[in-house]
Structure 1
Amino acid sequence: MALLDVEHLRVDLRTHRGSAPAVRDLSFSLERGQTLGIIGESGCGKSLSALSLLGLAPDNGTVSGSIRLEGRELVGLADRDWRAIRGDRIAMIFQEPMTALNPVHTIGDQVTEPLRLHQGLRGRAARERAVALLTRVGIRDAEQRLAAYPHQFSGGQRQRIMIAMALACGPEVLIADEPTTALDVTVQQQVLGLIRELVAESGMALVLISHDLGLVAQNVERMLVMYGGTVVESGPTAQVFGRPVHPYTRGLMAARPTLAQRLASHHGEPLPTIPGSVPGLFGLPPGCPFAGRCAFTEATCHTEVPPEWTVADGHRVRCSRREAILGASETIAVHA
């Protein structure tokens, strides 16, 4: 039995224009200690998928499909039951460290909150545990800084505090949603190194969400590529980077500038891009969400849901133009 098993997850958002599918047919499983990356452009459904795993889909969202934690079905749980799981067995490092912390509560109050709610720790015991957590994530003089407020910390320090909060109760699944947003390169590497170290120590399963291909390549064993709320390619990270097959995946990787391209761009040569833009939820075609932006698009791509098929062991792609894209796989420049 998998630790976390997601099958055919779907999230529909109700708006004044009607209902629109924001996440469609998302499936994956995680064992203890496994790491999974989810990549894609903004608006492809990454963060909404993550929030659904915590029972935090927006009020105008309807979640269907299946999310099982050690066999227990989570879809449809009452909010009271979700609160018992959220922050205890499944925890999340939210995307924006500058706004995710509550500005009117001290850091000590915020770090000890999950300890009070889930482990019943109070007073000195909770304080000592908070100090240990903050020290573990690299906050100096942690005991003295418990009384400080978020605005008194740098962006990198706030990100570390969020990690401490997420790890407070020793969750079995850690979701990191763009954990290095707005951090400089040095702090990014420190934060990612800390997450890797903590996951290895505790045997947690990790879901890392990012638009940064290099970050995913270096930090996870398996990956999902999402577009238009759908997984278009999935598999072991080394295989997907070594041989990307779906036209969208190829476009993402080809758009990563090499050193030669960076130098050329200074001389007026444009960097590679994916033509067009991500369609809105109400602009998605009923068939393949990438239809129209894809060089292999034909009429049926707009109307027929593409089938999923296997490239190699564990490496799967969802596309109707199998022969065409495989035939072109050696001619498309990709930089892993």
Structure 2
Amino acid sequence: MPLLEARDLRVDLHTHRGTAAAVQGMSFTLEPGDTLGLIGESGCGKSMTALALMGLAPDNATVSGSLKLEGRELIGLRDRDWRAIRGFRLAMIFQEPMTALNPVHRVGAQIAEPLMLHQNLSHGAAREKAIALLERVGIPDPARRIDSFPHQFSGGQRQRIMIAMALACEPDVLIADEPTTALDVTVQKQILALICELVDERGMVLILISHDLGLIAQNVQRMMVMYGGAVVESGPAAQVFGQPAHPYTRGLLAARPSLAQRLVAHRSERLPTIKGSVPDLFSLPLGCPFAGRCAYTEDACFTDEPPVVPMGSAHWFRCRRADVVLDTPELIAGSA
């Protein structure tokens, strides 16, 4: 039985402008120890997917489809039942620790809270474990700093505290939403190494969300490329990076500078870009969400749902012009 399984997961947002699909048809199956990466531009549905997986979708959202944790259906659970799971079996490292941490509570109390709630530890036992967790994530002098407030830590240290909170109850599933945003490269590497080490130790499922393609390539086994709330390409990370099929995936990879370009490029040189910008959810085409920005767009792309095109073992992409796309691998999105 899979540890975490999603089937046609969908999130619809109800606003004064009507209803829009923020996540459409998300499906995956994850076993203990599996790692999955989600990539895409801002507004493509990555963070909304994470919130739906945690039962934290906005009040104006309707979540449908199926989401199972070891066979137990989570869609439709009451808030009380979600609270029993969240932080215990499902945990999340949020994108911005300064807003995720409560500024008026000491960090030790925030780490100890899930331990007392889910593991019935006494205040003293929870405090001792919180100190051990702070030490594990690299906070210096944890016995003294456990009584500090979030603003008394650096950005990297606050992110480490978020990791400690997420791992406090040794969850089965860890969702990391841009866990290295705004951190310098050295701290990024340390935090990612720590997350991956703990995932390996405990056999957790890791869902890593990031704009950083290099970070995804180095830290996950499988990946999904999202655009307009839909998965447009999915497969083993090595295959997707080695043989990108969807025009959007190609555009993202082409926009990433190589090491040689970083060393010799002049300021006047420009990287390839994907023309246009991500439309809002109410302006997406009825057919392929990437229609219009894609160099291969034809009229039917705006109206016909793109079929799934297999590329090999577990690697696929969605495109109604797959024959043309695959015949011109050098062409990237927006370059025509």
Instruction: Identify whether the pair has TM-score above 0.5, normalized to the shorter chain.
Output: yes
1:281 aligns with 2:281: yes
Distance in 2 of aligned mates of 1:91 and 1:181: 18
Unaligned runs of 5+ in 1: none
Kept after mapping to 2: 8 A contact 1:92/1:174: yes
Residue aligning to 1:36: 36
Distance in 1 of aligned mates of 2:98 and 2:186: 18
Kept after mapping to 2: 8 A contact 1:137/1:194: yes
Kept after mapping to 2: 8 A contact 1:261/1:271: no
Q: Write the letter of the residue equivalent to 1:24.
A: Q
Residue aligning to 2:168: 168
Distance in 2 of aligned mates of 1:75 and 1:140: 41
SS in 2 for 1:99: helix
Instruction: State TM-score, norm by structure 2.
Output: 0.97
Residue by residue, what CA displacement relative to the aligned partner does 1:67-125 show, whole Å, maximum 9, x if unpaired?
Answer: 00000000000000000000000000000122211100001110001101101112211
Alignment of 1:1-336 (within 5 A): 1-262=1-262, 266-329=266-329, 331-332=330-331
Distance in 2 of aligned mates of 1:192 and 1:75: 30
Kept after mapping to 1: 8 A contact 2:175/2:206: yes
Distance in 2 of aligned mates of 1:192 and 1:333: 30
Kept after mapping to 1: 8 A contact 2:295/2:332: no
Residue by residue, what CA displacement relative to the aligned partner does 1:289-320 show, whole Å, maximum 9, x if unpaired?
Answer: 00000000011100011011210111011111
1:269 positional shift: 2.3
Distance in 2 of aligned mates of 1:332 and 1:259: 21
Between Structure 1 and Structure 2, how many residues are aligned?
333
Q: Aligned in 2, Cα 1:162/1:267: closer, same or farther, shift over 3 Å?
A: closer
Q: Write the letter of the residue equivalent to 1:221.
A: Q
Distance in 1 of aligned mates of 2:140 and 2:270: 45
Instruction: State TM-score, norm by structure 1.
Output: 0.97
SS in 2 for 1:65: strand
Please give the root-mean-square deviation of Cα atoms over the aligned residues, in Å: 1.2
1:266 positional shift: 2.4
Distance in 1 of aligned mates of 2:331 and 2:71: 42
Q: Write the letter of the residue equivalent to 1:23.
A: V
